[in-house]
Structure 1
Amino acid sequence: MIVVTGANGVLGRGVVEHLLGLVPADRIGVSVRDPDAAADLAERGVRVRRGDFTEPATLVEAFAGAEQVLVVSANALGEAARAQHRTAIEGAAAAGAGRIVYTSHQGARPDSPFAAAPDHAAAEEVLASTGVPWTSLRNGFYASTVPMLLGDAASSGDLRLPADGPVAWTTREDLAGAIARLLVDGPPDGPTGPLTGPAAVDMATVAEIAGEVTGRPIRRIVVDDDEYRTTLTGHGVPAEAADMLVGMFAASRRGDFAPSGPMLADLLGRPATSVREVLGAALSPTR
């Protein structure tokens, strides 16, 4: 059985939906904090059990009988994230899982200025300590971030962001399909190659594409990190979230999110979704 955690979230649910097209439902289990929210999966024959990374005892039943456990990383940062990831990984190992697969991130490094990256690096260290075969999925940065970074640039004509480097933006939908295929075909050992969109682009290129999509030119204006942080918090963004965004730009400047490769497209059997396609869907007027 393949057990997927976080199946009430966007990525986890997407993986399950793709798995249902690849294997019988009785080969799929989900571990979720709220089983009622996954009732539709139970009706389709998926095993639904309660599992909470903050309650280790719940994972014993949730992970029972798993040949593979897909640990979808927690929506948390710092010590909270690290504790939850450790609990989930060690719980999967204790349950006798044949392989633990973890949704890591491109640029997972202990010294990264992007807040989530050291947490992913710490999770990979825990994986390596279990003695169980493991795979760390080096997922690309979610492309849903791009329209958020654009903000009102399409109407104002100015995109004011810190200095950046190229990022291989990647859609959750593509990742879900690729991860499901990996789980069925057999994931590789250790960290994967980059599971990313087709090419890395910087925000100047994003501004150019967005201008072409909307028909209104957008200027890319570089602002100081501190100015950007102040602007964010002034618009009500929590300080932790503002710091994470500033850290993202800092990590991109040193190339942490730039590597791209064919692995995602190969798994999907089609080209990975491009930034132009993402912006076309997000910015084009409804016809």
Structure 2
Amino acid sequence: MIIVTGATGQLGRLVVEHLLTRVPAERIGVSVRETGKAEDLADRGVRVRQGDFDDPGSLAYAFEGVARVLIVSGPADAAPHRTAIEAAAAAGAKRIVYTSHMGANPASPFLPMPAHAETERDLSASGVPFTALRNGFYAATIVQVIGQGLRDGEIVAPADGPVSWTAHADLAEAAAVALAEEGGLDGITPPLTGPEALDLTDIAAIASELTGREITRVTVPDDEWITGVVSRGVPEGQARFLLGMYEASRQGEFAEVCPALGEVLGRKPTAFRDVLAATLTP
């Protein structure tokens, strides 16, 4: 059985939908914190069980009969991922697929990246064949970040660098390919990225074209930006967490554009312009 964790989230749900086009529903199971949110999947023949990375016992139940499992990464902490890896190994998984990140790096200033690097090490030490999908940075992340700027006409943020923003749908399809063992993906993959790297100046120009309004990119010092977002009610810890994303992008950690995702999909990955256009469509 193929088990997908986090199947009620944005990525996990899309992975299940792609799997349903590749394998029979009775070969798919999901591990979710709240089974009620997956009732529609159960109605379609998918096995739905409660599982929580913070509860190894629940994972033993959720992973029962597993052949291949997708561990969808969570917050910037490797410990829950390690629990899931250990549970998958104990359940007899023949392959563990993990949603890592193109910027996985123990020295990155963006906290999820060291956690991804640590989880990749745990996968290597698990003794189970694995695939670490080094996903490109989700395009939806920056669309959410710039939402207020699109409304105000100014994208105000710290200095940044180019990022190869990548569509959730494309990465979900790649994960389904890996789970269905159609793509020969093994070990740590090359970066699975969108077709171009864009900084916020590029994004402001694209947004201007799509909206027909001038969207300006305004760069502010890091401390000034922190003060501004905290004054608008964002906790300082969260603000500094987000600052790490800009710091890492300035170091070029998310700038690589790689053909690997297109090769897995058999088509060109979705452009950021198309992701943004879809969000702007009423």
TM-fit CA distance, 1:32: 1.1
Listed as ranges, the gaps of 5+ residues in structure 2 are none
TM-score using structure 1 length: 0.93
TM-fit CA distance, 1:219: 2.4
Residue aligned with 2:139, SS: coil
In 1, are the aligned partners of 2:183 and 2:264 still within 8 Å (CA)? no
Question: Does the alignment pair 1:265 with 2:252?
Answer: no
Corresponding residue of 2:55: 55
Corresponding residue of 2:16: 16
Query: CA separation in 1, counterparts of 2:184 and 2:2?
Result: 12
Identity over aligned pairs, percent:
56
> Deviation per CA, 1:114-158, whole angstroms, max 9, x where unpaired?
111111111111111111111111111111122223233334432
> Deviation per CA, 1:246-282, whole angstroms, max 9, x where unpaired?
1000000111101121222222233211111122222
Corresponding residue of 2:130: 134
Corresponding residue of 2:166: 170
Alignment RMSD: 1.5
Query: CA separation in 1, counterparts of 2:266 and 2:214?
Result: 35
Corresponding residue of 1:227: 224
Q: 2:237 aligns with which of 221, 240, 244?
A: 240
Q: How does 1:121-200 map to 2 (within 5 A)?
A: 121-184=117-180, 185-200=182-197
Residue aligned with 2:17, SS: helix
Query: CA separation in 2, counterparts of 1:89 and 1:202?
Result: 35
Structure 1 residues 147, 186: closer, same or farther in 2, change over 3 A? closer
Query: CA separation in 2, counterparts of 1:235 and 1:147?
Result: 19
Query: CA separation in 1, counterparts of 2:238 and 2:104?
Result: 18
Query: CA separation in 2, counterparts of 1:138 and 1:19?
Result: 20
Q: How does 1:93-108 map to 2 (within 5 A)?
A: 93-108=89-104
Question: Does the alignment pair 1:207 with 2:204?
Answer: yes
| Residue identity in the other structure for 1:67 | A
TM-fit CA distance, 1:212: 1.1
Query: CA separation in 2, counterparts of 1:36 and 1:153?
Result: 36
Query: CA separation in 1, counterparts of 2:154 and 2:33?
Result: 42
Query: CA separation in 2, counterparts of 1:225 and 1:95?
Result: 46
Query: CA separation in 2, counterparts of 1:156 and 1:58?
Result: 46
TM-fit CA distance, 1:86: 0.8
In 2, are the aligned partners of 1:210 and 1:283 still within 8 Å (CA)? no
TM-fit CA distance, 1:186: 4.9
In 2, are the aligned partners of 1:158 and 1:219 still within 8 Å (CA)? yes
TM-score using structure 2 length: 0.95
| Residue identity in the other structure for 1:43 | D
> Deviation per CA, 1:196-219, whole angstroms, max 9, x where unpaired?
111111111111111111122222
Corresponding residue of 2:33: 33
Query: CA separation in 2, counterparts of 1:258 and 1:146?
Result: 14
Corresponding residue of 1:65: 65
Query: CA separation in 1, counterparts of 2:153 and 2:72?
Result: 38
Residue aligned with 2:194, SS: coil
Query: CA separation in 2, counterparts of 1:249 and 1:168?
Result: 14
Residue aligned with 1:200, SS: coil
TM-fit CA distance, 1:229: 1.2
Q: 1:255 aligns with which of 239, 252, 256?
A: 252
Residue aligned with 2:98, SS: strand
